[in-house]
Structure 1
C-alpha cells in the first residue's frame, strides 16, 4: 500500500494495466492489439510547460514492466475471443466476421483472465471499420506532420525532453491538408481512413494520440514499433524500419478495394520504404508525398522518387504544406474549391 502511494506520487502505477490500442478491420480480418503491464505510467493530467515535468513525464513512458503470458478475452458481436500476451506483454486478437459490418468506431473491452476463469483486470479501447471510400491514407509521424528534427540528434532529444504532447508543434498547414484529405471524394459522415505508421515505440502511443487530438488531425489507427526501456530511450524512433514496411504491407493487403496515398519525409527511410511498397503493389498506390526536411539527403531522395514516378505514381516532394494541398487538388484528392480556399 505504501509502495503504491509512492508510485502514484511519481506518476507511476504498480497495478496491472491493460492498454488497448486502436484496432481496425474488415470482413476477412479484424485486429485488436495492446499491452499488459505490471508497471506503467499513469495518464498525464497536467501539461504545465516545465522542462523538469516534461522530462520526467517522458521518462515515465519508458519505465514499463510488461506482464507476459497472461490470458486475455474480448467479445465482438456475440463472439468470445481469447489470446495470450507474449513475453513483452503484447497481445493481438485476430478474427473474421460476416459482412456487412457496421462501419465507424466501436468500443471494445479486453479482460485479463485468471487461472480460475475470473476477470482480474479490464481495459477498453476502440476498433475502426473504415468506410468504403476510394482512398486510404498512410502517414509517417515524425517530421511528416510532427516537427521532430529526426536527422539532428541534439535537436531531436532537446524537443523530446523539453516539450510535451500539447506544446509540440505540427508543420504549418499540415493539419488542414490532412483534414482536406480525410474529406476528399467522400461525405463528412464517411471520412477516408488514416493509418499512422511510425518507427516510434508503443511507449509513445498516448503521447501521439494526445497530440493528434489536440491538433485536430484526422482520427486514425496507429501502428508503432516494439517497446523500449529507459536505457534505450536515446534510440527512440531510430530502429526497425523494416518493421515499418511490414506494417504498411498488412494495411494495403487488408483493404484490397482501396487505393492508398503514402505520406512521409526525407529525414530517414520513408522514400525507400515507399518505393518498395509501390513495386510490391502495382496499381494500388495513388500518390506519394515526401516532406523535404533534410538537405543532405536530397540528391538520393530525388533519385528514389524518380523511380516511383517512373512506375506511374504521382510524387510531391515539398517543403511547405500549401504545395502539397495544390498537388492534392491537381490529382483529384481534394476538390478545387476547397484547395483554393486554403491557399487563396
Structure 2
C-alpha cells in the first residue's frame, strides 16, 4: 500500500539494492540485503552541520521499502533468487557442489533486481562481498560496536539519540587506540590482515551504510556487520532482545566459520559478558579470550561474577578500562606482534 501510494504520487524515482556483506566457508555463504527507494545520502564530511547530519539520518529511518521483489544472486556458477519481505529485506544462503577457492578471502557476488518496480527502472545491479577465511587464519574476532568501539551512551537514551542523529561517521571517534589494536589483531603473528572480523550490534540495519563508512574512515578492519531489524515480524532477523539478537548472530557465525577459535570483545554496558558465557557453553573450545570494556561502573561486580563462571569453563575474561591493557595482554599471549604495541600506544596518544 505504501509503495503503491509512493509511485502514484511520484515520490519514488529510482530504487536500489542495499547489500549487506556476508560470510561463509568453502561450501556455503550467507548474506542479507534490502531493496529500497534510492535515498541519495552520499558520503559525510567533517564540516557537515548537525542539521545536515540529522536530515541524512532521517532518510535512513524514513525508508520506502520494496516488498515482494525478486533479487537474483549469481556467484561461482550458481544462480539463486530470493523475494523481499514486507519491509524489503531478502536473505541468501547459497550452497556449492564443489569447494570454492580460498586465495581471496573476499568473494564477489552479483545481485540484480529482477522485478520491474518502476516504469523506467533500467538495470539495478550491485556487487556484494562475502568473507570466506583463507588458510592463513589464526583466529577470528567478534566485536560489539556501541560503547565497545565508539562511545555512544547506549545505556543513556537521550545521550544515544543525540550521538546518533546529530553526528556522522567523520565526527564519531572510536575509543583511543581501538583501530590500531584491531588492526594488530587482524594481522596476528603472520603480519597480514588475514584474521576475520565480525561486528555484531543491536543497532538497526538502517545504520548499515553509516557504520560501514565509520569503519572505513577510522581504519577499522573490514568485516561483516550483523545488525538488528527494528520490525517485529521476521524470525530470521531476530528483532527481539539485545541478548537474543546477539546470541543468535554469534552462533550463526560460529556455525558457518567452524574451524577457527575466536576472541570476543564487548562492553559492560549491557549483557555482553552473559552472552559470551552462553556462547562458551554452546561452543566449548571455540573461544580464546574475552575482553570487556568497563563503561558501566555500576555493573562492575556483575561482570566479575560472570567472569568467574567463564573461568570455570577454561576461558579468561578481562575487564579493561583502556585499549592498552587489552593490547599488552594480547601481545603477552602471542596473538599480536610485540612491535604493534608501539603503534597502538602511538595511535591512542593521537586519538586522545
| TM, length-normalised to structure 2 | 0.86
Distance 1:302-1:191 versus aligned 2 partners, 3 A rule: same
Q: Match for residue 232 of structure 1? A: none
Aligned match for 2:229, one of 215, 226, 229: 226
Q: Match for residue 50 of structure 1? A: 49
- The structure with more strand, counted as a fraction of residues: 1
Query: Can you give the 5+ residue segments of structure 2 that lack an aligned partner in the other structure?
Result: 1-5, 233-238, 347-352
Q: Once the two structures are superposed, what CA deviation does each residue of 1:196-245 show, in whole Å capped at 9, x if it has no partner?
A: 0111111000000000000000011111101469xxxxxxx994430211
SS in 2 for 1:41: coil
Q: Match for residue 106 of structure 2? A: 105
Q: Match for residue 126 of structure 2? A: 123
SS in 1 for 2:124: strand
The 1-side partners of 2:70 and 2:210 are apart by 27
8 Å CA contact retained: 1:112, 1:119: no
The 2-side partners of 1:69 and 1:241 are apart by 30
Q: Match for residue 217 of structure 2? A: 214
Q: Once the two structures are superposed, what CA deviation does each residue of 1:54-84 show, in whole Å capped at 9, x if it has no partner?
A: 1121111101122112211111122111121
Please report the RMSD computed on the Cα atoms of aligned residues, expressed in angstroms.
Answer: 2.6
- Of residues 257-266 and 328-337 in structure 1, the stretch that sits farther from structure 2 once superposed is 328-337
SS in 1 for 2:147: coil
SS in 1 for 2:129: strand
8 Å CA contact retained: 1:186, 1:192: no
SS in 2 for 1:99: coil
Distance 1:17-1:336 versus aligned 2 partners, 3 A rule: same
- Of residues 167-176 and 297-306 in structure 1, the stretch that sits farther from structure 2 once superposed is 297-306
Q: Match for residue 146 of structure 2? A: 142
8 Å CA contact retained: 2:41, 2:56: no
The 2-side partners of 1:207 and 1:238 are apart by 22
Q: Match for residue 15 of structure 1? A: 14
Q: Match for residue 289 of structure 1? A: 291
Distance 1:158-1:100 versus aligned 2 partners, 3 A rule: closer
Q: Match for residue 304 of structure 1? A: 306
1:315 Cα deviation (Å)? 1.6
Counterparts of residues 331-342 of structure 1 (less than 5 Å): 331-339=333-341, 342=344
Total equivalences in the alignment: 327
Query: Can you give the 5+ residue segments of structure 1 that lack an aligned partner in the other structure?
Result: 230-236
The 1-side partners of 2:67 and 2:294 are apart by 41
8 Å CA contact retained: 1:203, 1:228: no
Counterparts of residues 196-207 of structure 1 (less than 5 Å): 196-207=199-210
SS in 1 for 2:113: strand
Q: Match for residue 170 of structure 1? A: 174
8 Å CA contact retained: 1:113, 1:119: no
Q: Match for residue 92 of structure 1? A: 91
The 1-side partners of 2:100 and 2:59 are apart by 42
| TM, length-normalised to structure 1 | 0.88
Q: Once the two structures are superposed, what CA deviation does each residue of 1:26-76 show, in whole Å capped at 9, x if it has no partner?
A: 123211320011x35323244233121111211111011221122111111
SS in 1 for 2:334: coil
1:14 Cα deviation (Å)? 4.6
The 1-side partners of 2:333 and 2:122 are apart by 52
